[in-house]
Chains A and B, each alone.
Chain A
Amino acid sequence: MTATATNAATAPDARKAGRFVFGASIVLLCAWVLVPIYFLLINTLSSPESVNSFPKSAWPEFDLGSLTFFANFQGILQAMKNSVLVAALTMALSIGIGAPAGYALSRFDFPGKAAFRLLVLMTRAFPLPLLALPLAVLFIRTGLDDTVLGLALVHTTLAVPFAVLITFSLFSGIPVELEEAAWTLGCTRFTAFTKVVLPLILPGIVASAIFAFVISWNEVFAAAVLTIENRTLTAFLLQNLDTSPIHLKFAGGFILVMPALIFIFAVRKYLFAMWGIANR
């Protein structure tokens, strides 16, 4: 009798404790992600003197000294511009050639489909940035070396498999009956696509385009191998790691992180849908 009574009394307590541990672990894991970024933020928003001093304060000074130093550093603005150009070009290229293939995979059964899927999936099993090494030689011969376009082509190799698989999953989510209905109402295949499918799919396409942008924006190895004068921001920071003052590194790191925060927020709804189907 007493045993059951204490059992009944401890069960809610145990559940409460369990819920507390659960909540605490979630908060802890969020802190694990956010606190290092906060440290970078403190360093970025402090004057160069305090970035180099010890001990560090737990709060930013809201001094723009480091960022001004960063902006005035020789070549940085050009590097940022190159990064944006390469990423934008990668985005356009990978969606431009990837989306039609994604549409073909979702709508048609054709001989060679399996082989094509294998080719796309195979690119994932390769350390792709390494392919920048032979391309460096090839690009010198064709005049593509040290150009925005040359690097964008290599970055497109990284981004296009994702573009194909993601658009494939997006198109698969739109019932083919919708298109067929449009055909019976006098649309051609093309106008049915532009008038019915495209408006439905546009947000998803934008999300995968953003994904391609981020892949290019973040890429370090190929960018460092393929550019000399027209370096991207990542290549610039990498090649100046040994010589640049630390407040420059931190400000540069922060500028690299900023788009990531915004982009992940913008595509968060699509992140899991994209991966869920791209998996299979």
Chain B
Amino acid sequence: MQSRFLPYLLILPVTLFLAVFFIYPFLLVSMQAFTKDGAYSLQNFREVFGYWKFPISLKNTLLLTAIVVPVQLALSLLMATMVNKMQRGREITLYIWTIPLGISDLAAGIIWLAIFEQSGFLNSMLNGLGLIDRPSGWLTYEHPGVVFAAIALAEIWRATAIMLVILVAGIGLIPKEYYEAAEVFGASPWKRFLKITLPLLRPSLQTALILRVILAFEVFAVVEALGGTLFPVLMGETYAYQFDLQNSNAAAAVALVILAISIAFTLLILRVLRVPKGARI
């Protein structure tokens, strides 16, 4: 009897917890988004979509994701293959490269603020090189490109580590024999990467991309620290609705939009990078 019921007893606390704090709030937020003054209505969405900032924040969020995620993918693949080849200093290199994993998005934003602010290190260096006499304010409406670049750099700096860890773990699972066989047949390192590493890394690439893309749609504190109102994003709009405008129904509507985009992209990534059954290592 005991071992038949024991597993259920063991998973019960988490299941209950997730039911109360994951599934139930998810239903609540959907209901909130579709009600106005106590009745079912699409008014919240009309209000949110009609606000002039909405298209801009949607565009900004998607654009930032489109720029940041591919760069991170390439960078983390490069770093993972480099780590795999290293003979000496592997451990210390991995430690340094994974430091940003523990750094919050707010702290990352503040770190890059130290570089880009008016009396910051970018201006100091440009001054040291004799390129400018007076510090210029980079994070202002006059330099939208620099604001975007600063946010993108901070995101790339902060969140490449999470992909790196997943990919390094994934590469570690690929049997060495495949590489040895390929080497015997004279495959170049580039060929080996394309024909062995990439296909066998699919499950890890899938996880890394899903995790990263969802985090990218949630981008918030980095933007608040660096761009503030200069670069509106969806999560910032949610926050503004909840706090500054005290309109939690509209906040819920924006939240549902973010959720919908996240789920759509998760399904897309699952489909594009699907792993055939039996092809798993």
Q: Roughly how many angstroms separate A73 CA and B228 CA in the complex, as a whole number?
A: 23
B2 at the interface (CB under 8 A from A): yes
Question: In the complex where A130-B255, A160-B14, A221-B221 touch, is A55 in contact with B127 (Cβ < 8 A)?
Answer: yes
Q: Roughly how many angstroms separate A273 CA and B172 CA in the complex, as a whole number?
A: 10
A173 at the interface (CB under 8 A from B): no
| Smallest beta-carbon distance A79→chain B, Å | 13
Interface residues of A in 55-76 (CB under 8 A from B): 55-56
CB atoms of A133 and B242 under 8 A apart: yes
Q: Roughly how many angstroms separate A113 CA and B10 CA in the complex, as a whole number?
A: 12
Given A54-B123, A125-B266, 10 further pairs, Cβ under 8 A: A54-B118, A104-B6, A104-B7, A116-B15, A119-B15, A124-B211, A134-B25, A135-B28, A136-B248, A225-B242
CB atoms of A127 and B218 under 8 A apart: yes
* A103 partner, pick from B10, B15, B251, B280, beta carbons under 8 A: B10
Query: 15 A-B residue contacts at CB 8 Å?
Result: A26-B86, A29-B79, A97-B14, A100-B11, A101-B14, A113-B7, A125-B210, A126-B26, A127-B262, A153-B21, A156-B17, A221-B218, A253-B110, A272-B172, A280-B280
A9-17, A196-204, A260-268 - the one binding chain B: A260-268
B75 and chain A: residue at smallest CB distance: A29
Q: Roughly how many angstroms separate A198 CA and B172 CA in the complex, as a whole number?
A: 27
A131 at the interface (CB under 8 A from B): yes
A194 at the interface (CB under 8 A from B): no
The interface residues of chain B lying within 8 Å CB-to-CB of A25 are 82
Spell out B's residues near A (CB within 8 Å): 2-4, 6-8, 10-11, 13-15, 17-18, 21-22, 25-26, 28-29, 32, 79, 82, 85-86, 89, 91, 93-107, 110-115, 117-121, 123-124, 127-128, 135, 157, 165-166, 168-170, 172-173, 203-204, 207, 210-211, 214, 217-218, 220-221, 224-225, 228, 235, 238-239, 242-243, 248, 251-252, 255, 258-259, 262-263, 266, 280
CB atoms of A55 and B123 under 8 A apart: yes
The interface residues of chain A lying within 8 Å CB-to-CB of B259 are 126-127, 130
A36 and chain B: residue at smallest CB distance: B111
Q: Roughly how many angstroms separate A276 CA and B166 CA in the complex, as a whole number?
A: 7
Q: Roughly how many angstroms separate A42 CA and B124 CA in the complex, as a whole number?
A: 13
| Smallest beta-carbon distance B71→chain A, Å | 12
* B165 partner, pick from A52, A219, A221, A271, beta carbons under 8 A: A271
CB atoms of A123 and B18 under 8 A apart: yes
Q: Roughly how many angstroms separate A37 CA and B262 CA in the complex, as a whole number?
A: 31
CB atoms of A36 and B22 under 8 A apart: no
What is the predominant secondary structure among interface residues of chain A facing chain B? helix
CB atoms of A127 and B97 under 8 A apart: no
The interface residues of chain B lying within 8 Å CB-to-CB of A85 are none
CB atoms of B106 and A100 under 8 A apart: no
| Smallest beta-carbon distance A81→chain B, Å | 18
A137 at the interface (CB under 8 A from B): yes
Q: Roughly how many angstroms separate A19 CA and B25 CA in the complex, as a whole number?
A: 54
CB atoms of B25 and A26 under 8 A apart: no
Interface residues of A in 87-113 (CB under 8 A from B): 96-98, 100-101, 103-105, 107-108, 110, 112-113
Q: Roughly how many angstroms separate A105 CA and B263 CA in the complex, as a whole number?
A: 26
| Smallest beta-carbon distance B278→chain A, Å | 14
CB atoms of B107 and A218 under 8 A apart: yes
> 4 closest Cβ contacts across the A-B interface?
A260-B102, A218-B104, A253-B110, A276-B169
CB atoms of A218 and B105 under 8 A apart: yes
CB atoms of A275 and B113 under 8 A apart: no
Question: In the complex where A26-B86, A280-B203 touch, is A37 in contact with B99 (Cβ < 8 A)?
Answer: yes
* A276 partner, pick from B18, B28, B172, beta carbons under 8 A: B172
CB atoms of A250 and B210 under 8 A apart: no
Q: Roughly how many angstroms separate A129 CA and B218 CA in the complex, as a whole number?
A: 8
A182 at the interface (CB under 8 A from B): no
CB atoms of B114 and A40 under 8 A apart: yes
CB atoms of B115 and A39 under 8 A apart: yes
| Smallest beta-carbon distance B51→chain A, Å | 17
* A250 partner, pick from B21, B26, B110, B128, beta carbons under 8 A: B110
CB atoms of B120 and A56 under 8 A apart: yes
CB atoms of A218 and B102 under 8 A apart: yes
